[in-house]
Structure 1
Amino acid sequence: MKKVVLAIATLAAGLAGAQTYPSKPINIVVPFAAGGPTDRVARDLAEAMRKPLGDVAIIIDNVAGAGSSIGTSKVAKAAPDGYTLLLNHIAMATMPALLRTMPFKVESDFEYLGMINDVPMTLVGRPSLPAQNYKELSAWLNQNKGKINLGNAGIGSASHLCGLLFQNAVQIDMTTVPYKGTAPAMTDLMGGQIDLMCDQTTNTTQQIEAKKVIAYGVTTAKPLTTPALKSLPTLQDVGLKGFEVTIWHGLYAPKGTPADVQAKIHAALKVALKDPEFIKKQEALGAVIITDKRVDAAEHKKFVAAEIAKWTPIIKAAGVYAD
């Protein structure tokens, strides 16, 4: 009898919690350093989701390291009450191949809440590089084999993945220089300490516009319409056939988060994705807001599974690990 009473009390408490959610600040864990492209997406989204969630405070918690696995693990282990969420990018699909061991399972230890955006990438170089367009860059690459430094935001980062594809496409090995985040990598690129980087438009657009780096092309199938980027060719158009990659972002909760709480978060996410100010901020950086079926949880999960299947052989062939 006591067990029955306890079970009923627990259920009642859970229902009450869902009905009153959110009653305190929500933490969104970003498994990358502050100031980077994913951090920027998270901060813009938090502002857009705040009102639909009743003006609750949404706090960004940057927990960087190990190809995003440290922050991701923190959310996997968090209480499934809707107050600790995860905003991550394509790393959700690459960690299974990049990590020798994982303290969580991407496909079963999270509740998928929906996707946010697709972010194109740009190939950029230090401002002192003696190549003003991709044709000149291609010649420079061939003349400087063994001397080229290619920066990235850390093993498993979006810039690392794009760099792997670029080296494979041009068939030139480069010295990979991993940083602890996008911001320090970009600082060294602008300062001339590294030669090249392939990174998200959310991080490169302002630097391109200010002419602090040289832009050589975008990683999309078609040219972008963003004012600062619309004059750039696609890397496919300049000769890298099949070179197409975008970095998507999604929102997640710990496994076991109540369905009613998930529904409230998902509803707030859908409102945020239609928020004019959020759209304006993202489009100014070249990001494309998700409007297709991947906004829904089930389709989001299917998409990530397909991305895992796509990236695993590429990463395994490169022989790189984040731990």
Structure 2
Amino acid sequence: MKTTAKFTGRRAALATLASLALGAAALPTAALAQAPYPSKLITIIVPFSAGGTTDILARIVAQGLTAELGQSVVVDNRPGAGGNIGGLLASKAPADGYTLFMGTVGTHAINASLYKKMSFDPVKDFAPLTRVANVPNLLVANPNQPYKTVKELIAYAKANPGKVNYGSSGSGSSIHLSGELFNSMAKVEMVHVPYKGSAPAVTDLLGNQIGIMFDNMPSAIQHVRSGKLVPLAVTTAKRSPELPNVPTIAEAGVPGYEATSWFGMLAPAATPAPIVAKLNAALVKVLAQPETKKKINDQGAEAYSETPAEFAAFIQKESVKWGKVVRESGAQAD
């Protein structure tokens, strides 16, 4: 009886130890599952090359988010196909809040109309967080070109059809469509030259490989200020406070012309609502900070934030607007 009792007691003790061991082994997994968001590095996919406006704005926001969220936020440039390569990658990323996407008017309001086949749905495959900035496009020319005003450009283009080349950050970008809208409204035939991002296009513009560009102001304004590029006009309805002496295209010879770019942060569609809410709150706070606003405004852009629902409604409205521009201009993806 004593032997049996000892055996039974030992078995019970071993069972207890085994139970405790299993519980201890499970603790790291449970703790990991319950770790508050964010608990590791966050990546912002930028669908254009480094040095362009999308990249510049993403890096400004990443710096602010790093401080606000207490985790490193880095930029991953994935250029190509008018932003569609980066867009596809972001849309297929795990919906856990650790992969974000810096969308543009091109990726989320133009490409669906411009491309016959899309590898992702700009609306269904993303959860909008907030717009980040509204940006004028700036019509700039190489100083060696024979035109210094919009009227001179139009006159030259009409006298030399097909000889004016304009660069863009890619087919379907707002830079591309700004040029197509200009072609249509000014009744000229300029040739579109797409690049994998704004930066390489600006490089060729500085080297006089292309004549003009309807570039986003943040990536062009430094070259205007240094005298390396000639500003012909801004594409917005009103003049830019950063370049008050530069006329609008409407003022300069094409009445009714207006085109504005915008940039916004998105996450994969199935991202949990609490994470979407936390990211939106962090972004709104960062974009309201004086230092962030100054950095964005110094680029010729306007810092902007809103709710996810407001951003979603804005994207829908912009898709209708730019879809009409694509149809009426006859623009096509190259």
What is the TM-score when the length of structure 1 is the normalising length?
Answer: 0.90
Q: Would you say 1:230 and 2:241 are equivalent positions?
A: no
Structure 1 counterpart of 2:269: 255
Structure 2 counterpart of 1:78: 93
Structure 2 counterpart of 1:310: 321
* CA-CA distance at 1:313 after TM superposition: 2.5
Q: Which residue of the other structure, out of 106, 112, 125, is the alignment partner of 1:96? A: 112
Q: Deviations over 1:132-170 (max 9, x none)?
A: 333333333333223211221221122111111111121
Q: Is the 8 A contact 2:157 2:190 kept in 1?
A: no
1 CA distance for matches of 2:328 and 2:139? Answer: 22
Structure 2 counterpart of 1:43: 59
2 CA distance for matches of 1:127 and 1:301? Answer: 41
Q: Which residue of the other structure, out of 55, 62, 71, is the alignment partner of 2:77? A: 62
The residue identity in structure 1 corresponding to 2:68 is P
2 CA distance for matches of 1:320 and 1:246? Answer: 17
The residue identity in structure 2 corresponding to 1:195 is G
Structure 2 counterpart of 1:24: 40
Q: Would you say 1:270 and 2:284 are equivalent positions?
A: yes
Change (3 A) 1:320 1:240: closer
2 CA distance for matches of 1:139 and 1:253? Answer: 45
Q: Which residue of the other structure, out of 120, 123, 129, is the alignment partner of 2:145? A: 129
Q: Is the 8 A contact 1:149 1:176 kept in 2?
A: yes
Structure 2: where are the runs of 5+ without partners? Answer: 1-28
Matches within 5 A, 1:152-171: 152-171=168-187
Identity of aligned residues (%): 41
* Greater gyration radius: 2
2 CA distance for matches of 1:316 and 1:138? Answer: 23
Q: Deviations over 1:87-130 (max 9, x none)?
A: 11102111211222222222211111111110001111111012
Change (3 A) 1:169 1:153: same
Q: Is the 8 A contact 2:151 2:253 kept in 1?
A: no
The residue identity in structure 2 corresponding to 1:222 is K
The residue identity in structure 1 corresponding to 2:262 is W
Q: Is the 8 A contact 2:150 2:253 kept in 1?
A: no
Say how many residue pairs are matched.
Answer: 306
2 CA distance for matches of 1:143 and 1:104? Answer: 42
Secondary structure of the 2:134 match is: strand
Structure 2 counterpart of 1:7: none
Q: Would you say 1:205 and 2:221 are equivalent positions?
A: yes
Q: Which residue of the other structure, out of 195, 198, 207, is the alignment partner of 1:191? A: 207
Q: Is the 8 A contact 2:47 2:86 kept in 1?
A: yes
Structure 1 counterpart of 2:310: 299
Q: Is the 8 A contact 1:162 1:199 kept in 2?
A: no
2 CA distance for matches of 1:230 and 1:77? Answer: 43
Secondary structure of the 2:250 match is: coil
Q: Deviations over 1:168-203 (max 9, x none)?
A: 121011122112221111111111111111111011
* CA-CA distance at 1:321 after TM superposition: 3.8
Q: Is the 8 A contact 2:180 2:331 kept in 1?
A: no
* CA-CA distance at 1:217 after TM superposition: 0.6
Query: Mean Cα displacement is larger for which, 23-32 or 251-260?
Result: 251-260
Q: Is the 8 A contact 1:49 1:271 kept in 2?
A: no
Q: Deviations over 1:48-83 (max 9, x none)?
A: 1111112x1111011111111111111111111000
Query: Mean Cα displacement is larger for which, 138-147 or 200-209?
Result: 138-147
Structure 1: where are the runs of 5+ without partners? Answer: 1-11
2 CA distance for matches of 1:71 and 1:14? Answer: 33
2 CA distance for matches of 1:246 and 1:60? Answer: 24
2 CA distance for matches of 1:138 and 1:173? Answer: 10
Change (3 A) 1:296 1:13: farther
Secondary structure of the 1:237 match is: helix
Q: Is the 8 A contact 1:155 1:178 kept in 2?
A: yes
2 CA distance for matches of 1:180 and 1:256? Answer: 29
- RMSD of the TM alignment (CA)? 2.0
1 CA distance for matches of 2:331 and 2:271? Answer: 34
